[in-house]
Structure 1
């Protein structure tokens, strides 16, 4: 059945709505959500062989869409394994919080299969507005406290009530997220109106040959770039990335883990769908996208160098990694698209591993500083190994998935003849190594006897083992994964 994975998520949403009408323990609500996601994961994997269209061609199911949906559900399920509903969510709102998470997953699944511009817009808004609410539902009594004094992202202390309690931080983050999202949506709608005016259609299969006839007319280039701006916001790419540090810091740890990973996979997938409409001769778009990618790398890496808050650091890091994925998309080729998907899937795994450590160490849901990683190798050896492997992978050190992702991106860009982009990306890789290894140094080369030992649960240990194995396996067996993604992409473009 083509719509079975989405129906499973919708049924789960109805179940959580019913749960919200009663009185249930937060742990019970979380367990219900986890079981439902597991069922949805099974149904999505079982539907990978399905092909077809629904809703008069606005909804398309093929190998590529089902693979991405499986990754979306799997990523959300892993977040559920290490989440703590008592720590990061306002008391009494856990059913609504998980309901919004599932509705965001539903919107992302619809977004992957959307085969028409208006369907893309509606799905994007559904997946986004529910996350705005999740950000605002963080507990008021969490903050980054160090020796009784709240600290900001640069490590400077503040004595105010706002900083000590974190009160209002989540509201500010939600409002910034919302306002930037509205701006991006407006730009995207403006671009869609241009495309409709130029081609007379909003259906993606019709747009590809129509755009090939009018490229590289300036109005066509501008229209495509305006549409891409909406997904730049979703993936946190320049110039739509300014919301990232404040939203990451203000949202709860589990909500940040979701924002930082799952929507980015879908965002890159949709960037590929839109970029595939551009003729191979559209070098103007390649230079614009490549320039945005390089600026995102420099902005993210240079800003991350001075961060003390772990989530803000990972936020800026995510901007830089999104730049690497965009650079591969900018090459406007099937293999480049497959490498971009490989890269962003690897990024999801690496970032989830980092947030697993953050959420496990932060028992009260507070933000952690880089200094809080001190002595982690003694307090929780498995968490220290997980964090080190994830950071090595993010830095691009072999044999992990991050190294192969960056290497393959650079080879593809060099093959297309854009040497300047390769040089600039290499410089950014060198910059990033410094702040990633500084966290590893804190975890493995320092000691802090005052901090208590961490005791991860069985589920957390299982998730850590899975992420470790997958990060290494995807790095060692990179070619089969990329070839599979390329084959899946060829079906969606046919």
Structure 2
């Protein structure tokens, strides 16, 4: 068994962090410091450890686990997301005091599963890492004090998750029976035409269905708005962003099996078009902000399909970059939702009325997040959509690119309604808890908004990283100035 411990430093560091959280959750709590005091520093350290390991590479554990540029790109994104989620949840009003360490431990295990998912290059390993990431989420979603809707959301997530798992396993059995391997590197050399291998195509479609559940792609999206609405604001920030990174990296690895013109590629393109259209049209009718963001996620899942079906390294790089942009943009909006709803309630659009007077930094940061989700310059959302469009044009799916542009125009209405309410003169009811306008809330929102704008204006470093990651999946050697690859 080949083993390179250096290549596993980010995962090992994060495992130590999760084990510390496990110790914190056990036994007498009187002698232990509150988890909110030390965990943000640990999460920040994990983020920087992962950044320093971006150049690591190697294949280990009988070639089922591969550390490459694509895995490191997503591990950096995932650990950054965990850091922001921890900061966002540090003042969670709907979480009972005795369950805080358990809550963070479950989030940590889910994040560790996502990091493992980023490096999994064999279908059974992908399934196991996906389950590690999922089981923790099943327990986290209902943790919202005195809210029956949270229990309902948890049950829906478990039920839909069980169906998705069954689909993935059933598809995996078909792939093993027809292609006689579960290694993605070997599956690349197999035929995926329905005329040659009909059952293999059916199996791959079912396996992809399990990933589409995590991504909330139409028609695997039914859980999404209800779970966002039922979970606490801070938990919804995690569910809305982190599992999708795991789904995107797996889809990027599986996309190398597909060529433009194959039946399954066309199916993915049609699902992408349906997802972005349905998500945007359904979001138009929403007044609850988290339900609006839930249907928005369905639309963004469709956008990511544009890069995946292009059949080029640039397309996979564009999908990876847009996944990162999606995470940062949504964490920004959920940060503001959590601060405005300082008592933990679900926000309506009208609850944002007059926000620019009560919390100007939050209002302007919300504007940056809304503009980015629409895809307006100079935000990272604009650059992400631009890269998706340019990577897919002239590769047989121009109609899908046009659908993306039309849907982006539709999305302007409901995203800018966030902006319109925040900068309106109308007041919210006086009995509603005022927004958290402290330095911590403003600093977090301001830094995330600055990241959205800065990466939008200077996208080249991260986009080149994503493009090189896409090239490695196609076996193209990428050389850095320092000589590594």
Q: TM-score, normalised by structure 1?
A: 0.90
- Whole-Å separation in 2 of the counterparts to 1:306 and 1:335: 35
Query: Where do residues 186-335 of structure 1 align in structure 2 (5 Å cutoff)?
Result: 186-211=166-191, 217-278=197-258, 280-335=259-314
Query: Where do residues 330-345 of structure 1 align in structure 2 (5 Å cutoff)?
Result: 330-345=309-324
- Whole-Å separation in 2 of the counterparts to 1:400 and 1:478: 10
Kept in 2, the 8 Å contact 1:27–1:85? The answer is no
Kept in 1, the 8 Å contact 2:211–2:251? The answer is yes
Please, which of 72, 77, 94 is the counterpart of residue 66 of structure 1? 72
Q: Could you tell me which residue of structure 2 aligns to residue 474 of structure 1? A: 455
Alignment pair present for 1:9 and 2:9: no
Q: Could you tell me which residue of structure 1 aligns to residue 464 of structure 2? A: 483
Q: Could you tell me which residue of structure 1 aligns to residue 88 of structure 2? A: 82
Structure 1 unaligned residues grouped into runs of 5+: 141-166
| CA deviations over 1:63-119 (Å, ceiling 9, x no partner) | 221121111011110122222444132331111110000000000001001121111
Offset at residue 480 of structure 1 (A):
4.2
Please, which of 98, 104, 129 is the counterpart of residue 98 of structure 1? 104
Structure 1 stretch 477-486 or stretch 121-130: which is displaced more? 477-486
- Whole-Å separation in 2 of the counterparts to 1:463 and 1:28: 21
| CA deviations over 1:231-285 (Å, ceiling 9, x no partner) | 100110011100001100111111100011122122111111111122x255312
Q: Could you tell me which residue of structure 2 aligns to residue 163 of structure 1? A: none
| CA deviations over 1:171-229 (Å, ceiling 9, x no partner) | 11111001111111111111111111122111121111124698753222222211111
Q: Could you tell me which residue of structure 1 aligns to residue 411 of structure 2? A: 432
Alignment pair present for 1:56 and 2:62: yes
Q: Could you tell me which residue of structure 1 aligns to residue 443 of structure 2? A: 462
Paired residues in the alignment total 467
- Whole-Å separation in 2 of the counterparts to 1:428 and 1:480: 28
- Whole-Å separation in 1 of the counterparts to 2:31 and 2:210: 38
Kept in 1, the 8 Å contact 2:340–2:434? The answer is no
Structure 1 stretch 266-275 or stretch 84-93: which is displaced more? 84-93
RMSD: 2.0
Q: 1:387 to 1:219 in 2, by over 3 A?
A: same
Offset at residue 27 of structure 1 (A):
8.7
Alignment pair present for 1:385 and 2:390: no
Structure 1 stretch 296-305 or stretch 4-13: which is displaced more? 4-13
| CA deviations over 1:323-381 (Å, ceiling 9, x no partner) | 10112211222111111111111111111110110111112211111111010100111
Q: 1:25 to 1:352 in 2, by over 3 A?
A: farther
Offset at residue 404 of structure 1 (A):
2.1
- Whole-Å separation in 1 of the counterparts to 2:168 and 2:396: 30
Please, which of 416, 421, 427 is the counterpart of residue 448 of structure 1? 427
- Whole-Å separation in 2 of the counterparts to 1:217 and 1:488: 29
Q: Could you tell me which residue of structure 1 aligns to residue 129 of structure 2? A: 123
Offset at residue 386 of structure 1 (A):
0.6
- Whole-Å separation in 1 of the counterparts to 2:217 and 2:192: 26
- Whole-Å separation in 2 of the counterparts to 1:25 and 1:473: 43
Kept in 1, the 8 Å contact 2:307–2:388? The answer is yes
Kept in 2, the 8 Å contact 1:285–1:330? The answer is no
- Whole-Å separation in 1 of the counterparts to 2:280 and 2:379: 20
